[in-house]
Each structure stands twice: as C-alpha cells, then as structure tokens.
Amino acid sequence: MTSRKNTLLLSGLVVLILVAALLSMGIGPIFIGPDQIIRVIMGESSSLTFMIENYRLPRALLAILAGAGFAISGVILQGMIRNPLASPDVVGVTKGAGLFAVVVIILFPTASPLLLPIVAFLGALAVAIALIYFTRKSGAQPTTFALVGMGVGASCQALTEFIMVKYPMQANDSLVWLAGSLWGKGWDEIYALLPWLLVFIPISLALHRKLDIISLDEGSSTGLGLNVVRTRYMLLLLAVALAGACVAAIGSIGFVGLIAPHMARKLFGHQHRYLLPGAAVLGALILVIADALGRGLNPPIEIPAGIVTAVIGVPYFLYLVRQEKKK
C-alpha cells in the first residue's frame, strides 16, 4: 500500500519538477512564456533561441542534476552517520572543496578556468581521506565521523578565511564560487557532471538495503551480517564522489544536501528505496527554483543560487528543529 502511494508521489514530483523547470526557464531579465520555450526546444527558430539554448535550458538541467546529486549525498551521509544533521557541508566535504578552490582563485589568478573544478573535487577527496584516516581507530563510529568532519570542515573554513583576509582585493572573486551559483555555467558543466551522476546515483540506489540496515544501531547492523566499517567507508566515498562532482560543477551550494533529505523523509518515510529517489527529485526541485529566483528577483543582477537556498533553507531548518524538539 505504502509502496504504491510512494510510487505515485514520486511520479507526481517528477511531473512537478518538469513543470517547475519549464516555468523557471521563463524567468530572468527577459521573461519568456512557457509556450515559447516549448516551441524553441522542439526546434523552432526564434530570436530567443540563443538565450534558451545557451543559458536557460542548460542552467535548468544543471540545477536538476546538481540538486539531485547533493540530495543523494546528503541522504547517504545522514543514513551512515545516523544523524539527521549530517550533510556534505557538515562533514566538511564542501568546505574542503571550497578551500582548494579559493587557493586557486586567489593565489593563482591566472590559472585556466578548467583547473578549478578538478581542484575543487580534489579538495572534497582530501577531506574524505582525512575522515577515513581519523576515524579508523574508532572503528568508524558515527559520532566520530560527525565530530571529525566538523573539525576538518572548520579547519578548512579557517584557512579559507585566512586567505581571504590576507588578499582582500581578490577575496571578492571567490565569494561567488563559495556561495555557489549557476551563473556562467552551461553545457560544459553538464557534460562534466553527468558521467559521475550516471555512475554513482545508480550505485547509491542499488545500495538502498545496506543504507536501511546501517541506519539501525550498530548491534543490529552487525547482527544482520553487515561489515559495518567497510560499508560506512564505501558509503562515505560514494557521498563524497557525488557532492564533490556537484561542487566542482557549480560551487559549494549549501542546504540542498541537508533540507532535501529531510523533506523526503517526511513524504516517503525511512525506507531508502524511496528516500533516495525522493530526496533526489526534491533536491533538484529546490535548486531549479533557487536558480530561477536568483535570476528573476532583481534582474539584471544575479543572486547566487547558494544564497537563495540558504535563505529558504535556514527558516525551514529552524522549523524542523522545533518539530524535533516537540517529539
């Protein structure tokens, strides 16, 4: 019964996201009606073709992809750490990417733009390696993970800020990247991100049973025949690969990886079989809306999508905390 309800709900959300993407493509300094967008996508040539093909369409697609990636990464981390507050930001993954990116932006301002995503991904990976190294002794305890992640994240943040204070003139350049924005992003980023997601999202979905088990307490997990430590590290690398690829593509957008899993849990319950795709669709929806808002609120000025997600995310998060307290 619930499975049928969940399937229906999921298909409903998929339809919703298509509608949202279509509408969001119309929003910006120049408003375009949905009928016109459909005609252009179908191949009709008009004066708006260039804008839709080069900016609106790729940005909507990229928002869907990255939103889904961040959300799935968040679900995995929350499941394996057994902490609803875990997310790619909290365990330091995006902060590591941020530190590496800021080093390149500020200290090597003449570096090729192609270098930035690679370096950002390496930053995320470096944090993952640090996490594995420091949690090994404790047998990859969830709490150790959370604490080490926060510590590593805080160190990365401190170094990032140190560099920004040291070089105030160049600090501005890195702010857009640190906030996370789809401005100036397009097909290149989609082609760079897509392979990662095509590999790691199906793997994540296939591991839904393991995630169900590992979300239980340690004893039950072991009792059900799971090699807990190995599974946790595997899941961690999966989450980092997803978040790292997304951060590399559009910068460290926060809150999507935290909020989308929560919303999904409310709608779909705790079974990862539905939770994973549900969060992916919701994450995509949040980012599509955030990007459209950032573009349309005060044109021609672009508000980075990461700032919009934070503005939407913080109140929702406070509401969640209140709800949890009542329980």
Residues within the interface to other proteins (CB under 8 A): 28-30, 45, 47, 49-51, 54-56, 109, 113, 116, 165, 167-170, 172-173, 176, 181, 183-184, 186, 188, 295, 299-302, 304
Q: Which amino acid is at 277?
A: P
The H or E element containing residue 155 is helix 142-166
Nearer to other proteins, 55 or 196 (CB): 55
Task: Say how far apart CA 160 and CA 174 lie, in whole Å.
Answer: 10
Closest contact distance (angstroms) between CB of 28 and other proteins is 5
Closest contact distance (angstroms) between CB of 177 and other proteins is 9
Nearer to other proteins, 239 or 291 (CB): 291
Closest contact distance (angstroms) between CB of 16 and other proteins is 25
Which of 237-250 are b and which e, b meaning 16 or more Cβ less than 10 Å from the residue's Cβ? bbbbbbbbbbbbbb
User: Would you say 226 and 210 are in contact if contact means Cβ atoms under 8 Å apart?
Assistant: yes
CA dist 230 → 74, 216, 222, 275 (Å): 19, 16, 12, 22
Closest contact distance (angstroms) between CB of 158 and other proteins is 18
Residue-by-residue DSSP string for 58-104: HHHHHHHHHHHHHHHHHHHHHHHHT-TT--TTTTTHHHHHHHHHHII
Closest contact distance (angstroms) between CB of 1 and other proteins is 47
Closest contact distance (angstroms) between CB of 176 and other proteins is 6
Nearer to other proteins, 42 or 169 (CB): 169
Give the count of alpha carbons within 13 A of 13, CB side only.
Answer: 25
* Nearest-10 Cα torsion for 77, 80, 84, 88: -10
Nearer to other proteins, 262 or 295 (CB): 295
Count CB neighbours of 301 within 10 A: 9
Closest contact distance (angstroms) between CB of 32 and other proteins is 10
